[in-house]
Structure 1
Amino acid sequence: MAHVNNTYGTMAVKTGMLIIAAALLFAPFLFQDVRALEVAARICIFIVLVASYDLLIGYTGIVSFAHTMFFGFGSYGAAIALKQMGPGWDAVAIGTLAGILVSLVVATVIGLISLRVKAIFFAMITLAAASVVLVLASQLSHLTGGEDGITYRAPDLFKTANKLMVDDNGKVVRWFGVKLNGKLAAYYFVFFSSLALFLVMLRITVSPLGTVLKAIRENESRAEAIGYRVVAYRTFVFCLSAVAASVAGSIYAIWLKYTGPDTALSFAIMIDILLMVVIGGMGTMWGAVIGAVLMVMAQYYLRDLMGAASEATANIPLLPELLAPDRWLFWLGIIFILLVYFFPRGIAGTVMTKGARK
């Protein structure tokens, strides 16, 4: 009976994943406004970011505060290349590879030096490294644009799309009321790139490597006793996670056409990633999707919902004040506490294991 219930939970989560994937695939046609497209693109990027972080904290038990640092390396790599070389795919390739290379070098050095020590010391070392990179990005204004960041043009493919997708009268072709232009092409570049990265990481978790990572998480001493080089595996997955975050940063830089400390290296992004992992469920990979969708949607739409609720309850004492849009962070915190209480293993983790002990 427990196995049946567990299977139903897994099926429910996977069905939810298909619905989310379909919604993101057809987002430009379902939600025809600029803000909705921005939300969908951000969800795609954060699914990759959270999934890559889940490889560390959920599957291997490594707590790192440097994930946004690798995201920033990818973002700044693409941004600097596009700024210096112009809007070509050669610039994208060079910038992305540069971000990956820097991420690999830094991750390898941090991993080999720090992953032998206790978890709390490693977490502090990664926090210090991320803080140093944030300060450097702000101070090296001749290269990074400092606090103002860098603006640049999109790759030529998106401009070509604008020219190709016109009818005989010179008007942009529309499908279901949506213009087939460069913005749409950019979104599907983000969607399919993010999907490919997520599927690669999902495949890793069900491979023999994923089994070893889980063994290290559960009992590091036993894994080492049966012959696994724990430090080597932990360093490898740290580097793998860094590369995925770096590529996600490059994709986001191409979409946003702007890169700055607030969009690529902010510690607030790291907090968002942690919240998404906890809300979705650590060690499930599907939790990355659920956490990213809920958190990003809350960040963009919770304030609007509270504004509508405040107006609807205008005649009721105290409620309009409590539901004021400026208090959206307070209610987000309340929602987070409730989710942790009712879903102690995250939404995906709790649903997938519900009934397993019955």
Structure 2
Amino acid sequence: MNRLFSGDYPRSRLLSAALLLIFLALALGPFLFDGIRTFSMLGMMCVFIIVVASYDLMLGYTHIVSFAHTMFFGIGAYGIAIASDHYGSGYGALFAGIVGALLASVLLSLLLGLLSLRVKAIFFALVTLAVAFAFLSLVTQLYNVTGGEDGLAVRSPRELGPAFRPFDFQVPGFNIFGFLVAAVSSPGEIGQAFQEALFSVRLSGRHLTYYITFVTMVAIFFFLLRMVNSPFGRVLQAIRENEFRAQALGYRTVLYRTAVVVVSALLATVAGILFALLNRYVNPENTLNFELMIFILLMCVIGGMGTLYGAVIGTVLFLLAQNYLQDLLKQLDALVPADTLIAELINPDRWLLWFGLLFILSVYFFPSGIVGQLRIWSAKRSSGQD
């Protein structure tokens, strides 16, 4: 267990419980939550945990601010989409798309790192911002190759598609969230709530795609955990704290920073590949939009920079709020009288207002991020007991 976590444990009981709950929810999600919408959200959680964790490797552990992270995410997604559009839905096209996307990411990230990391802080961020916008413009204009703003449909192998049915029987599922909601709203009808929570799952290729994504996410997370706790990771943290001192100790910081940019770009590309296979549709808005880059940054900050565990917590909380905050406001809006100030404030159309307010409150009460603050509180309690 120590080798698995590389000695970097959550160091907080509440955080450990939350991570275990998230792991179980993602591992058993297709059999615990009914509906296509929830299934899709679980897949996006796995994808963006990879994206945010790889970005945390740059931002949290090395203090490299890059706005080109979504570019590499888009390269992975478009690599699969373009390959399937030109060569069909076979495994050969899938392999060509994966290899082509990874090679393109290596070359671009290496070039970006070597040419730009010699400049400092905000100047590197501006360079990556310019490159990201240039790439977005290129993808939008190359209509014959990328589909332009319309995007491309992804044609994956039959075994990875929803039409593939490996088994004739259905697997029982239990919508635990639906059961809890029904049980709380109608305490006297537990039996009926239990019956309504039962559903059947017909296994298909999309379940195989989901679990490939889930296993890849877990493997990448532990790979990053091992990396940041290795001698290589210690140098990254030394660069973060004082780059001049790290250089004085003999470390070639430009090479380390370039290596981080390349690794982070490759992992973002892998996430883009998985996104394309799950979403089955790629366009500039869902892969290269600058708003998506801001969301990745917010997930990293909310969860806690320089922790990796923060990528999991931040991603899950962000996507839950993004997908269900408006539904929650609809439920609350139905409980208050119409034409009142409260009704105006909790109007579902104002969900972005509350979304922003939640972010402000999270930063105010968790200045070190949720994971960082939980660890601080846990350390204080432990020292108080001693």
Q: TM-score range by the shorter chain?
A: over 0.9
Question: Residue 174 of structure 1 corresponds to which residue in structure 2?
Answer: 171
Question: Residue 79 of structure 2 corresponds to which residue in structure 1?
Answer: 77
CA 1:306 to 1:213, structure 2 compared with 1: closer, same or farther past 3 Å?
Answer: same
CA 1:160 to 1:330, structure 2 compared with 1: closer, same or farther past 3 Å?
Answer: closer
Indicate if the aligned counterparts of 1:25 and 1:191 stay in contact, CA closer than 8 A. Answer: yes
Q: State the shift of 1:104 in Å.
A: 1.1
* One-letter code aligned to 1:303: Q
CA 1:317 to 1:74, structure 2 compared with 1: closer, same or farther past 3 Å?
Answer: same
Question: Residue 297 of structure 2 corresponds to which residue in structure 1?
Answer: 274
**After superposition, where does 1:27-46 map in structure 2 within 5 Å?**
27-46=29-48
The 10-residue stretch of structure 1 (255-264 or 176-185) with the greater mean CA deviation from structure 2: 176-185
Question: Residue 330 of structure 1 corresponds to which residue in structure 2?
Answer: 353
Indicate if the aligned counterparts of 2:12 and 2:378 stay in contact, CA closer than 8 A. Answer: no
Question: Residue 200 of structure 1 corresponds to which residue in structure 2?
Answer: 223
Unaligned runs of 5+ in 2: 1-7, 174-199
Q: State the shift of 1:192 in Å.
A: 1.5
Secondary structure at the counterpart of residue 58 of structure 1: helix
* One-letter code aligned to 1:111: G
Q: State the shift of 1:356 in Å.
A: 3.9
Indicate if the aligned counterparts of 2:329 and 2:347 stay in contact, CA closer than 8 A. Answer: yes
Indicate if the aligned counterparts of 1:89 and 1:156 stay in contact, CA closer than 8 A. Answer: no
Secondary structure at the counterpart of residue 227 of structure 1: coil
Post-superposition CA distance 1:62-81 (Å, at most 9, x none): 00000000000111001111
* One-letter code aligned to 1:95: G
Q: State the shift of 1:348 in Å.
A: 0.4
Question: Residue 48 of structure 1 corresponds to which residue in structure 2?
Answer: 50
CA 1:320 to 1:238, structure 2 compared with 1: closer, same or farther past 3 Å?
Answer: same
Q: State the shift of 1:96 in Å.
A: 1.4
Unaligned runs of 5+ in 1: 1-5, 167-171
**After superposition, where does 1:1-358 map in structure 2 within 5 Å?**
9-158=11-160, 162-166=164-168, 172-176=169-173, 177-314=200-337, 317-354=340-377, 356=379
Q: State the shift of 1:203 in Å.
A: 1.6
In the alignment, the residues of structure 2 paired with residue 161 and residue 143 of structure 1 have an alpha-carbon distance, to the nearest angstrom, of 27
In the alignment, the residues of structure 2 paired with residue 202 and residue 316 of structure 1 have an alpha-carbon distance, to the nearest angstrom, of 52
Indicate if the aligned counterparts of 1:49 and 1:244 stay in contact, CA closer than 8 A. Answer: yes
CA 1:308 to 1:104, structure 2 compared with 1: closer, same or farther past 3 Å?
Answer: same
The 10-residue stretch of structure 1 (279-288 or 23-32) with the greater mean CA deviation from structure 2: 23-32
Secondary structure at the counterpart of residue 89 of structure 2: coil
Q: State the shift of 1:145 in Å.
A: 0.3
Secondary structure at the counterpart of residue 121 of structure 1: helix
In the alignment, the residues of structure 2 paired with residue 25 and residue 250 of structure 1 have an alpha-carbon distance, to the nearest angstrom, of 20
Q: State the shift of 1:329 in Å.
A: 0.7
Indicate if the aligned counterparts of 1:277 and 1:287 stay in contact, CA closer than 8 A. Answer: yes
Indicate if the aligned counterparts of 1:7 and 1:352 stay in contact, CA closer than 8 A. Answer: no
* One-letter code aligned to 2:114: L
* One-letter code aligned to 2:115: I
Secondary structure at the counterpart of residue 32 of structure 1: coil
Question: Residue 4 of structure 2 corresponds to which residue in structure 1?
Answer: none
RMSD: 1.8
Q: State the shift of 1:316 in Å.
A: 7.7
Question: Residue 187 of structure 2 corresponds to which residue in structure 1?
Answer: none
In the alignment, the residues of structure 2 paired with residue 353 and residue 228 of structure 1 have an alpha-carbon distance, to the nearest angstrom, of 31
Secondary structure at the counterpart of residue 283 of structure 1: coil
In the alignment, the residues of structure 2 paired with residue 164 and residue 299 of structure 1 have an alpha-carbon distance, to the nearest angstrom, of 34
Question: Residue 3 of structure 1 corresponds to which residue in structure 2?
Answer: none
* One-letter code aligned to 1:56: M
CA 1:100 to 1:311, structure 2 compared with 1: closer, same or farther past 3 Å?
Answer: same
Q: State the shift of 1:157 in Å.
A: 1.9
TM-score, length of structure 2 as denominator length: 0.87
CA 1:159 to 1:250, structure 2 compared with 1: closer, same or farther past 3 Å?
Answer: closer
Indicate if the aligned counterparts of 1:9 and 1:353 stay in contact, CA closer than 8 A. Answer: no
Secondary structure at the counterpart of residue 312 of structure 2: helix
Indicate if the aligned counterparts of 1:161 and 1:185 stay in contact, CA closer than 8 A. Answer: no
Indicate if the aligned counterparts of 1:45 and 1:248 stay in contact, CA closer than 8 A. Answer: yes
In the alignment, the residues of structure 1 paired with residue 160 and residue 98 of structure 2 have an alpha-carbon distance, to the nearest angstrom, of 18
CA 1:174 to 1:349, structure 2 compared with 1: closer, same or farther past 3 Å?
Answer: same
TM-score, length of structure 1 as denominator length: 0.93
Indicate if the aligned counterparts of 2:321 and 2:355 stay in contact, CA closer than 8 A. Answer: yes
Indicate if the aligned counterparts of 2:276 and 2:282 stay in contact, CA closer than 8 A. Answer: yes
Q: State the shift of 1:193 in Å.
A: 1.9
* One-letter code aligned to 2:322: Q
In the alignment, the residues of structure 2 paired with residue 315 and residue 242 of structure 1 have an alpha-carbon distance, to the nearest angstrom, of 50
The 10-residue stretch of structure 1 (196-205 or 302-311) with the greater mean CA deviation from structure 2: 196-205
Q: State the shift of 1:330 in Å.
A: 0.6
In the alignment, the residues of structure 2 paired with residue 159 and residue 128 of structure 1 have an alpha-carbon distance, to the nearest angstrom, of 37
* One-letter code aligned to 1:335: L
Secondary structure at the counterpart of residue 216 of structure 1: helix
Q: State the shift of 1:14 in Å.
A: 2.6
Q: State the shift of 1:175 in Å.
A: 3.3
In the alignment, the residues of structure 1 paired with residue 217 and residue 90 of structure 2 have an alpha-carbon distance, to the nearest angstrom, of 20
